[in-house]
Amino acid sequence: MKAGFSDRWRGPVTAPAVSLAEPEPAPPRASPSPAPSLPKEVSKSAGDALIDAKVELHGRIIDEFNLSLIDRVSSDDLARQVTRFVADHVLRERLALNQRELEAFAAEVLDEMVGLGPIEPLLKDPTVTDILINAHMSVYVERNGQLELSRVRFKDESHLLRIVNKMVSAVGRRVDESSPMVDARLPDGSRVNVAIRPVAVDGPLVSIRKFAKRPISMDRLVELGALRPAMADLLKAAVRGRISVIVSGGTGSGKTTMLNALSSYISPGERLITIEDAAELQLQQPHVARLETRPPSVEGRGEIRQRELLKNALRMRPDRIILGECRGEEAFDMLQAMNTGHEGSMTTIHANTPRDALGRIEQMIGMAAANMSAASIRGQIAAGIQLILQLQRMPDGRRRVTSIAEVTGMEGEVIQMQEIFSFTREGVDAANNVVGHFRAAGVRPHFLAELKAQGIEVPSLAFDPRANL
């Protein structure tokens, strides 16, 4: 026999006996009361009453049960015992719930115990790509590229803060008044950004970017209309031929997704080192070493930035370095790596056009090497970077590759580029979907000769502007 959450619930189980509750005397048997037919009278709505009850039950569990033993109980048995606990509470408090509502309520209480509370169902929903929490009363989600207000909410600000601390503490990060902003990740790889008071005026702001359980492949991106097969063939050949690539785009344009798709074409015999603020890349190669930055401690010491990790990575015998996002002085070291035997390295950058991406890289290198002239910086950029992918999130929520451009060298003090493929917008249809077409510019990349020397061929027809991409 295995003890449940209290002495009132016992039943035959096959697992070894584990008591999650402290022993207590059995309560006096109460006279039976008729089954409730009306909800408990409360001044709040039924939804508010359930939220209050859920948080109350969670607090009671923390007070009454030995949570350190939960790991020794199977998930199925834990769910059964929580359901019994909730059923007893519903009966005692005269909450009018049918069987389906009771099961959903029990699942929510279980999420409060071992999950992330009210947003746990959103994290499990495959149609949700972003979860945006604007204080405890407002939770938005993104589905199919469109934002919508969800019915999820938290009881109060302290309830939300408890969930936030559970998120960030799992990866050794902290958030408090002295450090009110933090980047973190969830166990499934989802990226989390948190801002709390005093920088968040109206209460905690939480942004969660979910990623697919399985990385989206290049073929899947073609199916979704993000690019055309001819464009995918060129990118596949470029990655295999160790062409250094920059993925440029705005927030939410799909840069990390594209980086994951590109990395799938890297040879499994190469050693890859990834450097990120919050580890979110999902590389499929067998030889991957992952590095992650570290924020400063409470005393303001111990911070490890991307630049320090990048310098250290160069001593770890990498074949390629993949930098999750280039946003500061590490751009200088990344460019040095691309120019000194680590061809084929990749990174992402926030920019609106390929030309803007080069300008941002130049500015970031200037922060790290103030004594370098503009001409020297541009020369390093032209020598290290060969291909720039520009991504854009359209008004209808779809992500597309709007430009693939090659860096061809220097002319005077100007970096020369040529566009190979582009996407042209033509308008919107009756359903407000963006209408447009992909087209080839009619030029062949200069690096095709380099690829051909490695035995990698790209059909010439792919660059014909008259061909149907």
pLDDT digits (tens, 9 = 90+) for 141-194: 999 888 999 988 888 898 899 899 989 988 888 899 888 999 888 888 888 999
The answer to whether 386 and 407 are in contact (CB under 8 A) is yes
Which of the pair, 199 or 105, is modelled with greater confidence?
199
Place of tokens 């019915």: 151
Residue 72's pLDDT is 67
Chain mean pLDDT for the chain: 83
For the beta carbon of residue 3, count every other beta carbon within 10 angstroms.
16
Distance between CA 100 and CA 44 in Å, rounded?
A: 22
Residue 321's pLDDT is 96
Range in 35-39, 345-349, 395-399 the model is least confident about: 35-39
The amino acid present at 274, given as its one-letter code, is T
Residue 461's pLDDT is 87
* Angle at 129 (CA atoms; ends 126, 132), nearest 5 degrees: 125
Which residues touch 347 (CB under 8 Å, ≥6 apart)? 246, 247, 322, 323, 324, 325, 326, 334
Range in 67-81, 277-291, 400-414 the model is least confident about: 67-81
* pLDDT, mean of residues 337-352: 93
At residue 414, does pLDDT exceed 60?
yes
At residue 379, does pLDDT exceed 90?
yes
Which of the pair, 225 or 33, is modelled with greater confidence?
225
Residue 439's pLDDT is 94
The pLDDT confidence band at residue 284, using thresholds 50, 70 and 90, is confident
* pLDDT, mean of residues 426-431: 89
At residue 466, does pLDDT exceed 60?
yes
Percent of the chain having pLDDT more than 70? 84
Which residues touch 6 (CB under 8 Å, ≥6 apart)? 21, 24, 64, 85
pLDDT tens figures, 194-238? 999 999 999 999 999 987 777 789 999 999 999 999 999 999 999
Distance between CA 169 and CA 158 in Å, rounded?
A: 16
3-state secondary structure of 361: helix
Residue 67's pLDDT is 53
At residue 71, does pLDDT exceed 70?
no
Distance between CA 408 and CA 360 in Å, rounded?
A: 18
Distance between CA 86 and CA 57 in Å, rounded?
A: 8
Of 285, 267, 277, whose CA–CA distance to 310 is shortest? 277
* pLDDT, mean of residues 53-75: 61
At residue 19, does pLDDT exceed 50?
no
Place of tokens 């008044």: 177
Which of the pair, 245 or 124, is modelled with greater confidence?
245
Query: 207 pairs with which residues across the strands?
Result: 132, 193
The answer to whether 123 and 108 are in contact (CB under 8 A) is no
Residue 33's pLDDT is 39
Helix then strand then coil, % of the chain, to nearest 5: 35, 25, 40
The pLDDT confidence band at residue 51, using thresholds 50, 70 and 90, is low
Distance between CA 93 and CA 83 in Å, rounded?
A: 15
Distance between CA 2 and CA 254 in Å, rounded?
A: 50
At residue 254, does pLDDT exceed 60?
yes
Range in 93-107, 311-325, 387-401 the model is least confident about: 93-107
Residue 117's pLDDT is 83
* pLDDT, mean of residues 325-336: 91
Alpha helices in 35-156 (DSSP H): 46-64, 75-93, 99-114, 120-124
* pTM, rounded to two decimals: 0.76
* Angle at 293 (CA atoms; ends 289, 296), nearest 5 degrees: 150
Residue 132's pLDDT is 96
Place of tokens 């149907």: 468
Residue 45's pLDDT is 55
Residue 8's pLDDT is 33
* pLDDT, mean of residues 81-85: 77
- C-alpha distances in Å from residue 354, one per residue of 2, 12, 140, 359, 415: 64, 66, 32, 9, 11
Distance between CA 144 and CA 385 in Å, rounded?
A: 33
Distance between CA 207 and CA 198 in Å, rounded?
A: 17
At residue 2, does pLDDT exceed 60?
no
Of 140, 141, 136, 165, whose CA–CA distance to 153 is shortest? 136
